[in-house]
Chain A
């Protein structure tokens, strides 16, 4: 990078550019030639940098766009689908929810604290740029092995360093800006050794008449740059995020930006004060590829062009070249297009919040981006070349697929064999439960989320640790339920079925607390798309996700793709993460997972083939990384959904918790731990204790119902055609689980369960 900006004039036209230069700007020779063809001339250095950044995987989605078109994006309640800063769905007649999830994996691998902090900063800006007040954050995190003795100690320490840094960075930024972090996930797997995933989701609320779009229009309208001064930080961050991490990535440190949450807070307040103001035409935050992408994208959406004067950009250093200014990813900046003649009204608001606003350009009719620096034109590119004409890689065009075939995947396991293996490995189901609870993926994340302010904005009715967070709209009965789900082991074994299962799992989380799903945002984390098997896995996962979403009538409204998640130690597991948003009609009636007391009847709703393929106990605890996830049963899911909705409406439920990581055993244990109440449960014995207790197959929920509502629930289940098993009763201080013939499977005190669960992450942090 240093070499590119070293005193070579910005307008120098490399003819032809050498391989090293192309590598630095992130273009292949083929892409370079495409650019020359479209432009009708050879681009200069600034233009090369701009094209490279916007054609990068990170901005241009060149490997994924084709597949993403398969996802459903429409529903009557969708007000804004993918393509803007964030998606918008209707919540009530007056209110809409704005949300998006985004990855910050690469920066977080190298500089965990700032990487995660600026990830939060970026996603928050996406939300308030649309005029919405951010009301919640969720983080889906993956780290390598953090337990000693399981991995090389140096690697483990690096993983822990990343975990501590990421959590501290999220806390630092989110707490300071005053947005509650209300949920998320944290899972560990050796596949993420030194290559963590950091996906941040932000949710905002907006009055419909105050929604703002990120588009430029009105020839002659002034363009303002507001917020932080522009520095050389993060130059080429977008291309950096589109290459694999190597041993040398440490040298890329200057490509990681430093965040200033206080400045973000000022920008947030000023932007929200301006949202809906007639003087404001469009607002766009500066994220990846900074000024280049924000100007090109707003101009493209409005079908106009833009002239930029770089001499007017407030700089941190006078030395900055045009190249650096166009590609800088300095944080906490916004681009605002104002109706000509109304500048003063807008500037007054920025002054109130102590913010610098500079007039840096104007909207022009001709659809080109023309950049001036020191009196000369340093770049002149058609807007379309930077946006819709970015390369699109298809199976037919230089990005073929090769059938995805990880070792052992794709063939169902023999259930009896697995049952026998697990019985031998653990000795007893109780021993397996102990190990499952103490696994970082299942164990309590309290040591993480107690560092996050999860209550600010007085909306948090149910915070971190449950199936879904429940956030009220202050002053109303209605609220939101939020969850993220991304169990990669299912997708690793069966990309299509696994991704479909994620969708159903997320929906079930919302249904469990009493919400109805509205829409999702997704963050698709995969290894290098240049690996043809990875591309195949990606394509199949997107297909599966799309199928499930269509089947349950839930659209995608925003998202992000992150490729190249691999390092010297290997590729990450294919990790699509879903952030789902649901509506709760009356937050005071939302239901949690904890058993609120003794004497409640426990029911197991839903059925499955009880396979152990891809379960935590087989995949993570026993290293059986083989098998095949069960096919999704959409009709069964719809019946279960109807049953849960009705049971919630009738107020039957005292607690509900869906079966996921660790199967029924962990579900029951978590209900006991959260409610500090024991339970006595009897289960059918076939096809085996381990299958009964630890299978994660199908969509199933355990619900607790007061004795007087038990018959009603059974009747409702029968009406809806849902398998319904009355399995026991809450009470006492122990979790006791037996087989039908009286065989004792688990008998543990709630204190012991809680202690194991509490230590799952805390012991190693």
Chain B
């Protein structure tokens, strides 16, 4: 299994993600510079958090024009695993690899805090080592993380089980009828924190699992997501 972490100008969590993949999860990992166009040596590609191109214009709007994105489309089409975290999720939406968009938080401010996530679909390559309904404690850090989509798309995502993570209370409870809830930090529709594409091989999530993969950082809940992806790739080989 070989993992790649894309480095866009302005990526901030590239080193963090690299550290967790290579040192904690134990995957053979390399950086992928945004000008590269050959991803054929990789099984998993992670788009890390940060402020690609300063988030100027709109988060992810410029990064999607990078040469590597074209290669990424091809990579995803071939069934390679793609994971976008925070800014990576924003880029995947802008690039059309994931549906919907990420708008400015309802509080209109940047928010960095711990949140609780409920695993809604444990049958994806990224959640196979988790169980449905399991609650994860993972931090967020973003200003544009409110997941939005037109009503019919939202319905489709729900029906297809594409909603992978939802913000919830510490005990895992949540109320889909509430539009705003204290446990939903950004006002995302249906409390959505992470989704996959229809095929299930492209994941986007706003919370940062790489910040919750070691005991010394007070939570190891994020590690299971990387471990799942690793296991999925191993099984496919």
Chain A interface (Cβ < 8 Å from any Cβ of B): 171, 175-178, 260-263, 265-266, 353-354, 449-458, 460-461, 472, 474-475, 587-588
Contacts and interface: CB of A to CB of B under 8 A. Distances in A.
Contact of B15 (A175, A354, A457, A460): A457
B10 A262 contact: yes
Contact of A265 (B19, B51, B110): B51
26 contacts: A171-B110, A175-B110, A175-B143, A176-B54, A177-B12, A178-B13, A178-B50, A260-B54, A261-B51, A261-B54, A262-B9, A265-B10, A266-B10, A353-B9, A354-B9, A450-B112, A451-B109, A451-B111, A452-B112, A453-B112, A455-B112, A455-B141, A455-B208, A460-B217, A461-B216, A475-B23
Contacts of B208: 455
A381 B60 CA distance: 48
Contacts of A475: 19, 23
A450 B111 contact: yes
Interface string B39-82: 00000000001110111100000000000000000000000000
A455 to B, nearest CB: 5
B187 interface: no
Contact of B112 (A178, A454, A457): A454
B13 A456 contact: yes
Given A176-B51, A475-B19, A458 B9 contact: no
B11 to A, nearest CB: 8
Nearest to B218: A461
A263 B10 CA distance: 9
B16 interface: yes
A472 B23 CA distance: 15
A261 B12 CA distance: 12
Closest 5 CB pairs of A and B: A262-B54, A178-B12, A176-B51, A453-B141, A458-B16
Q: Which of the listed residues A175, A461, A475 has the most CB atoms from chain B within 10 Å of its own CB?
A: A175
B228 to A, nearest CB: 20
Contacts, number: 80
Q: Is the interface of B mostly helix, strand, loop or mixed?
A: mixed
B114 to A, nearest CB: 9
Contacts of B143: 175
B54 A458 contact: no
Nearest to A174: B110
Contact of A588 (B15, B50, B211, B216): B216
Contacts of B51: 175-176, 178, 261-262, 265
Interface string B198-228: 0000000000101100111100000000000
B113 interface: yes
Nearest to B112: A453
Contacts of A261: 51, 54
B9 A266 contact: yes
A599 B214 CA distance: 29
B186 to A, nearest CB: 12
Given A176-B10, A453-B110, A458 B50 contact: no
B139 interface: yes
Contacts of A455: 112, 139, 141, 208, 211, 217
Contacts of A178: 12-13, 50-51
B222 to A, nearest CB: 10
B41 to A, nearest CB: 21
Contacts of A452: 110, 112
A461 B217 contact: yes
B182 to A, nearest CB: 13
B216 A176 contact: no
A354 to B, nearest CB: 6
Contacts of B141: 175, 453, 455-456
A450 B10 contact: no
